[in-house]
Amino acid sequence: MMQHLFALLALALVFPGAAHAQQDTAKCATVTVSRATEADVPALVADAECFSKAMVSAASSQALRLKKARELTEPAGSAEEPDDPHAGHEMPPAPEAAWVPSPSLDGGAALLAEFPVERGLRPAWGSGAIPGPYTANEGAFRFTCGGEGALIPDDPLVYPGQPGKSHLHLFFGADGVDADTTMATLAKTTSSTCNYGDKVLNRSAYWMPAMLDDQGFARRPDWIAVYYKRAKATSPQCTPGSSNFMGTCVALPNQIRFVYGWDQTKPDDPGKGMSWYCTAGTGKHFTNLDDVFASGCTAGSTLVADISFPNCWDGKHLDAPDHRSHVSFGGYGSWGYYRCPTTHPYVIPQTENKYAWTVTADMIGARTDGTKYSRVRLSSDHMKANAKPGETLHGDYMEQWVGAAKAMWHAGCIDKGLDCSGGDLGNSLQLIGASQPKYGWAQPEPRVAMAEHP
């Protein structure tokens, strides 16, 4: 029980208001986000998603003004930002992918374990307790992953079978993922950084661009929190004919995969569902790391990258040529409530990943005028011209849960609207090794020397 309380306390400190992470974007209605200016920010700041989108427009002109001001006030060659030793890696065009049809609304065939599923479970928090409600109409299933996964320039979705062709990624979840990973190889996973032990029920793969510093090191996060959230089965959002029916609510399809956040095929578009924030300073959400550190993020605090994936599905495909078009975010439109588009009428549990780093002094730079900037960036930032550090945040996902285990958390946590954390399945059982990293809450190897990417 003490371990449970410690985990909840840590999450509460890092993610204030985590129980209400699903934002009400109806607050955006008074502002046209794509045309937002700095004067609009106070009206948007209460809503993280709206704020992060609006800041893209507000910050773009501000960034140009700051850049010009530095050029006029600082002598040539005096800028403190060092060159990025990892920049300049030219990636080939991604191979043409194809639509992957879904056999049914369940997705592909459910994965069967090679052992009795109960052997990968234990009584929830040692007592078999059932969690309370998450919100009035929504359920959440959450767990914590370690940040010790592979750091390799592979991407089994975008560059399948082409090792070394991608920017550097940090992988977590299923161990051994690389460019040759497929749904079939994931099904044979025997270890995971999200489900420690030898009876792995979550064999899914997750990855993001690696965080790099200006000294040739990759920065591992302390831990990653993974959420799956959706309206509960009896909510109006899942009830056809209700005044705020969102769409047909279904479980997470077997073997679905997708990429979301910043899109390298549309590099100048703002990333959807992504933001950065810090436990020190203003606590606001930003689209880039320069703004986070300028807002007062200090050494010893926690820096968080937050990626929310779409929650609407077309019901027809498990993957798309761009790894995005088969899923979509909903919207408010003229009808005034959040619902899925008619092209993607099925509501699936929304995946959200939160990556947490302990901030160190060498992650923060200072200019001659005293303003702070980021000395860390993402391995994908060089793919966008004039990108600010962290502006290309995105994430990848390949689903491969043992079907019986997924059915448990979906029925126990999502459909019933419960507040499940640490791998609690909402049915008095809990995944073994899903409540915290095996090394504890502090990353034992936060800096990993990386050779310059060819």
How do residues 377-428 score in pLDDT, each as one tens digit? 999 999 999 999 999 999 999 999 999 999 999 999 999 999 999 999 999 9
What are the backbone dihedrals phi and psi of residue 136, each rounded to the nearest 5 degrees, phi first?
-60, -35
Give the residue with greater pLDDT, 125 vs 77.
Answer: 125
The total number of structural domains in the chain stands at 1
**295: nearest Cα among 374, 409, 178:** 374
Strand pairing report for 419-420 and 138-146? parallel
- What is the per-residue pLDDT for 333? 86
Strands, E, within 202-349: which ranges? 205-209, 211-213, 217-219, 223-231, 248-249, 257-261, 274-278, 302-308, 312-313, 317-319, 327-328, 346-347
Element (H, E) at 187: helix 183-187
Give the pLDDT band of residue 451 (cuts 50, 70, 90): low
> pLDDT tens for residues 253-262?
999 999 999 9
How far, in Å, CA of 233 to CA of 268, rounded? 38
What are the angstrom distances between the C-alpha of 356 and each of 13, 232, 335, 439? 12, 28, 37, 15
- What is the per-residue pLDDT for 387? 96
Query: Is the pLDDT at 179 greater than 80, yes or no?
Result: yes
- What is the per-residue pLDDT for 351? 97
- What is the per-residue pLDDT for 246? 98
Query: Is the pLDDT at 331 greater than 90, yes or no?
Result: yes
**What is the span of the domain harbouring residue 263?**
99-449
- Mean pLDDT over the full length of the chain: 85
Give the DSSP letter string of 91-138: PPPPPP---EE-SSTTBSPPBPPSS-GGGGEEEGGGTTPPP-BSSSSE
Query: Is the pLDDT at 115 greater than 50, yes or no?
Result: yes
Read off the tokens for 61: 């002109």
| Residue 61 covered by a domain | no
254: three-class secondary structure by DSSP: strand
* Average pLDDT estimate for 196-204: 98
| Residue 300 covered by a domain | yes
| Residue 197 covered by a domain | yes
Placement of tokens 């993607």 in the chain: 344
Read off the tokens for 241: 């004919």
402: three-class secondary structure by DSSP: strand
- What is the per-residue pLDDT for 335? 87
Give the pLDDT band of residue 347 (cuts 50, 70, 90): very high
- What is the per-residue pLDDT for 127? 97
- Please name every residue paired with 319 in a beta bridge, in sequence order, or none if there are none: 100
| Residue 441 covered by a domain | yes
Query: Is the pLDDT at 5 greater than 50, yes or no?
Result: no
**397: nearest Cα among 186, 189, 199, 248:** 186
- What is the per-residue pLDDT for 170? 98
| Residue 166 covered by a domain | yes
Give the residue with greater pLDDT, 20 vs 179.
Answer: 179
CB hemisphere CA count around 309 (13 angstroms): 34
| Residue 79 covered by a domain | no
| Residue 32 covered by a domain | no
* Average pLDDT estimate for 125-129: 97
| Residue 207 covered by a domain | yes
How far, in Å, CA of 296 to CA of 371, rounded? 10
